[in-house]
Amino acid sequence: MRFERASGVLLHPSSLPGPFGSGDFGPEAYHFVDWLVAGGQRLWQLLPLAGLGPGNSPYMSNSAFAGNALLVDLNDLHRQGWLQPAELAPPAGADASEIDYAVVHPFRMERLARAASRFEASDNAEHQNDFAHFCQEQAAWLDDFALFMSECEACGWKDWCDWDPALAQRQPAALEQARLRNASRMHFWKFTQWRFFRQWAALKAYANGKGVQIIGDTPIFIAYLSAEVWANQHLFDLDAKGRPAVVAGVPPDFFSATGQRWGNPLYRWKAHAKDGFAWWVDRIRRTFELVDIVRIDHFRGFAGYWEIPASAPTAETGRWVPGPGAALFKAITKALGPMPIIAEDLGVITPDVDALRRKFGLPGMRILQFAFAGDASDRFLPHNYEPDTVVYTGTHDNDTTAGWWATATDKERHHARAYLATDGHDMPWTMIRAAMASVADTAVHPMQDVLALPGECRMNLPGQESGWWKWRFEWAQVQPWHAGRLAELSRLYGRCALPA
């Protein structure tokens, strides 16, 4: 599917400014939309909106369907009468430049709990009816999620296979007892999801009304400690005790000499195929209820994936195994029709991966930071792009462009200066211009590159399990010329509808 020629900014809502230690769906998010519009940007790309997993990564969520409760706007809860003004005092120790999860998580979760309790005791019929409608509408995943999270809390977040065997194997009597035992906490988790979905729907509607589309992100794999693996054990490659026999990752590559051992359970693709890939169809359908365009992370895993023995400490001893291929995307297309999906086709890309992407008309990705280590044939150089491409200066897994340039090899520096006709003094904006000028239909730039921030502001470093996903910006860093320059480049290269 060809996308309209446009450009946008990559920024996760957690990186927004705000008084509560991390960004959320509050006023700053609406202001960011307005800033995008002022800059002629028609796309806002996010990381997964799901809850955080180990290392605070949104790519290791406890649910493929639930939203991150930390993104709920607390001011909205106050407006609804569920929080008192004094409870909105910023948390002690909060940092405007990065998220301290040890401070932010308990602060936000405690206030969500107070709000849920007051809502439960309220007699506002409109709110109660809307909540009941939401719970009924989302019951297919919400009931399992609320029970799973409640039981995880009660069990100290140990692996679900170590729960009472009857509950781990979802015997009906054990499930009913667990629901009775966790009724109050299940209400809390359903409340957080209700507010998440309602707030996000309002923010997305605002963005769409301003001409800004949302690009979401769907990881190919999900975390073992997640409601969906527990609820759908037959769809995952688990042993007799419910533990993963093999796990996901990638072989040694640009990012890591020993590869990346992600640890996610792998799918039993034959079981998915047997029921027409219904779980995947539902996952994609529900993702498109939240966003306008979906980027599928690690697309190459659908053609073939790297299978690592669960006992292996690194990804070096894995092997390539065929994925579901075209059968999965035929099922999705049959159920949902052609969908605007971006295929993250980075890493080891073999002809079958490219053929799968092209068969379904999915644009691939190109990263400018990868372009200058080779010669003129390098597929990341703009003159080798095709229109059905999404070009990035860098992604959440890359260093910032300023950080990349500071550590680039002499060969890369020489090649980049010659190719981009620059002396290298303003590489973030030089790269943004190159992306904008390319034939790629879509150009996306991380907010860190718009602000020309150093490597300390990168979002993630693949292969490291902690210390990331913390970066935030402040509006004081954003000058009027940032939006003005984006708007001018968008106009020059035909990426926005601004008047000439």
Q: Catalogue the active-site residues.
A: 297, 344, 397
Q: What is the rounded CA–CA span in Å between residue 26 and residue 111?
A: 15
The strand pair at 260-265 and 6-10 is best described as: unpaired
Q: Encoding tokens for residue 372?
A: 């200058």
Classify 361 in phi/psi space as left (phi over 0), alpha (psi -120 to 50) or beta.
left
Pairing of strands 213-219, 246-250: unpaired
Evaluate the CA torsion angle 57, 58, 60, 61 in order and state its sign.
Answer: positive
DSSP state of 162: G
**For residue 64, what are its two tokens?**
């493929």
d(CA 473, CA 491): 26
What is the β-pairing status of strands 43-45 and 6-10?
parallel
Per-residue burial over 255-287, b if 16 or more Cβ lie within 10 Å, else e, is: ebeebbbbbbbbbbbeebeeeebebbbebbeeb
Handedness of CA 447, 290, 494, 41 (dihedral sign): negative
